Structure formats: structure tokens, C-alpha cells
Amino acid sequence: MDAYLQIAESILKIERRPLSARAILAAAYRRGLIPMHLHGNTQQKTLGARISEDIITLRDDSLFFRTAPGRFFLREFLTDVTIPEEHRQPVATRRRIRDLMRGPALAVDLHDLQRIATTGTAIPPVIVFNLLRSDRYRYDDPKNRKEGSVFLWSFVSVRRNYEILS
């Protein structure tokens, strides 16, 4: 199990009440439960994201559930009558809208691509770069796609030693 999830599970078992990611980390630091390898300026965001992803991915099999936006609790306490009722009411969790669908997004005209690209499924990067250099691009809203728009999604991966950041 992920170290952040282990920390959250331990603290929520001790506290026996829903907490925010920031409160979970504060309690973990007070109790000396943060391992040396965990560091960073936004650990509360990482913890919140890890718990949220666990809830979304595992659903009822997750150890956690939300009692309110940004507040987490342990599923094992759902049937514990010693816990106040308001802490035992899960709030539905949904996946956020993908950032890729938030406009505007870089687009080129389909006819430009068809005119200069050879047959095949992959378009060589040099063709895309030439379109961009010649100012044959625009920014369109993906939700209101124009006829003939081809969106160019780019992804970056950075390798540091044996780690890949993306």
C-alpha cells in the first residue's frame, strides 16, 4: 500500500473522525508517523489526490470514503454506532472532467494535414512543426469543435536517473 494511504489509515483509526488531508498530515507529523522519504511543499495535495484516486478506483473496496468535499474517513467505521451518524454518511465521488477537454486547445485544419501528409496513421512531427512555423494553426474550444479541426495534444515526459516524470 502507498505510504500516504498508510499514514491516512493510521491517523483516521486513531482520530475516529473525518479529517481533511491537511489535518491528517498535521496529526501524522505530531505523532512522528511521516517517513523520511516523504517530503515536498504540497504533501496535503498529494495525500488528498492519493485518497481520492483510491476511492474512485476501488469504490466500495477502498478503505476510505468522503464525508464531505475534502474530508475523508475509514469505511470500517460505516457500521460503528459509536461514531456519530453524520460521520457515517458517504458523499458520492466522481472523477473530475479531464483537463484536455478544457479549451482553448491547439488546432490545425484537416485540409492542411491531408494536403501535406503522406498516407498512413502517424503524422511525422516535422509536418506539424512546419504548420506551426507558418502560422497555420489556431486555438479552438474542444467542446465546440469546428468542422475540419484537428486538435494537437502534446505530452512531455522527463527522465531523471531512473525516474520518469510526466
- Exposed/middle/buried for residue 26 (C-beta within 10 Å: 0-12, 13-18, 19+): middle
- Three-class SS of residue 155? coil
Strand partners, 140: 105
Distance, in Å, from the CA atom of 157 to the CA atom of 153, rounded to the nearest integer, reads: 14
Ranges of H-type helices in the chain? 3-15, 21-31, 43-58, 110-116, 125-133
- The pLDDT of residue 44 is 94
Q: Where along the chain do its domains lie?
A: 3-88, 100-158
**Structure confidence by residue, pLDDT tens digits, 128-157:** 788 888 888 888 888 787 888 888 777 666
**Structure confidence by residue, pLDDT tens digits, 8-64:** 999 999 999 999 999 999 999 999 999 888 878 899 999 999 999 999 889 899 999
Question: With contact defined as beta carbons under 8 Å apart, do 117 and 127 qualify?
Answer: yes
Distance, in Å, from the CA atom of 72 to the CA atom of 18, rounded to the nearest integer, reads: 5
Q: Output Rg (C-alpha) for the chain, integer angstroms.
A: 23
Question: With contact defined as beta carbons under 8 Å apart, do 141 and 106 qualify?
Answer: no
Average pLDDT over residues 97-118: 73
123: left (phi over 0), alpha (psi -120 to 50) or beta: beta
